[in-house]
Structure 1
């Protein structure tokens, strides 16, 4: 069983995923981390990114993330091109991971743009992590060296929270650590019951 977990930037999705790492009967796939690795290791991705965004997209053979982010977060069309290059290869990588871990109770598949890129279609259940926008912006400002305008641009490129929660089986409101941990444990127990 594949459980998608998503949430807008600053919702605290990574914090929740970290809580799930305590459960030894599951496997966790973090799409963004795997995509970053593949963008540096896949010849296919590298060739296409250089063709589309120019040779400056790699510095010393490593992805020049600030350069790329500066292009794609200002231009929805460029973001779409990036996704078209990267997502099919990440999806294939995920399918291999699912096959390798099919003995686990479930696979937690973390993807910030689960709905936006259509990955929700191969999830059996979906968890969305939410938090008020003001808190989300504050969290990102504290975490990244960025501006309010840059954070708002990234929020604009994602589906709004209510649209995500309407299509989710579980919602975790991430405001306090203890409450979030409780919600996470309840969902895990519920999912484990379903799969056994």
Structure 2
């Protein structure tokens, strides 16, 4: 069912998406700085949902067991690095946590869109925009393009993982060609930042 009736106005809601380590955060931060557009970050809402004492936290610990808790955390936070590793390696666990979090993240985004109803433009940063079926939140979709080898290098460096692990993670996501068919704007984030900076300045 479409969520459009829950949104109060016809503001411009740009959905920014792209493969893991393609540079979405860099582009989002630039847009915020350039035009001071509010950013709704799906990843941040996901982190908030599994904070200690929350309902989702309790469900995650009950499902994965006490080993999912970071032993070095004074507040018994979930070990997000371990959780990532588990869900990337096991499709059943991945589906379980996505079914738990995605509907709640979507509700949070709807709430935030309405909270910022006076803003003409919002930027919704949603890594799994297509996979999680969040397209109906957006009035347009911007897709970050990044060469696979560069994306893999960035991911390996960022998460300190091997080439094989990076390959597996990238392969789990919908490929660029499929995403591009349903996107309105392609932002090229290879080595030349001017390419996407110029495009953004034209569009916002």
Is the structural similarity TM-score above 0.5?
yes
Partners of 1:61 and 1:146 lie apart in 2 by 25
CA RMSD of aligned residues (A): 1.5
1:95-106 superposed matches below 5 A: 95-106=110-121
Deviations 1:151-175 (A, max 9, x none): 1111111100011111001110112
Match in the other structure for 2:169: 154
Whether 1:64 aligns to 2:79 is: yes
The normalised TM-score by structure 1 is: 0.90
Q: In structure 1, list runs of 5 or more residues that go unmatched.
A: 189-196
Say if 2:187 and 2:195, in contact at 8 Å, map to a contact too.
Answer: no
2:152 maps to what in 1?
137
1:82 aligns with 2:92: no
Q: After TM superposition, give the deviation of residue 89 of structure 1 in Å.
A: 1.7
| 1:165 and 2:176 matched | no
SS of match in other structure, 2:33 = coil
Match of 1:31 in 2: 42
For residues 184 and 87 of structure 1, what CA distance do their matches in structure 2 show?
Answer: 28
Counterpart selection for 2:140 from 108, 125, 139: 125
Runs of 4+ in 1 over 3 A off after TM superposition: none
Q: TM-score scaled by structure 2?
A: 0.86
Deviation at 1:115, TM superposition (A): 0.3
Aligned length: 188
Distance 1:53 1:121 in 2: 32
In 2 relative to 1, CA 91–165 (structure 1 residues): closer, same or farther, beyond 3 Å?
same
Q: Give the 3-state SS of the residue equivalent to 1:114 in structure 2.
A: coil
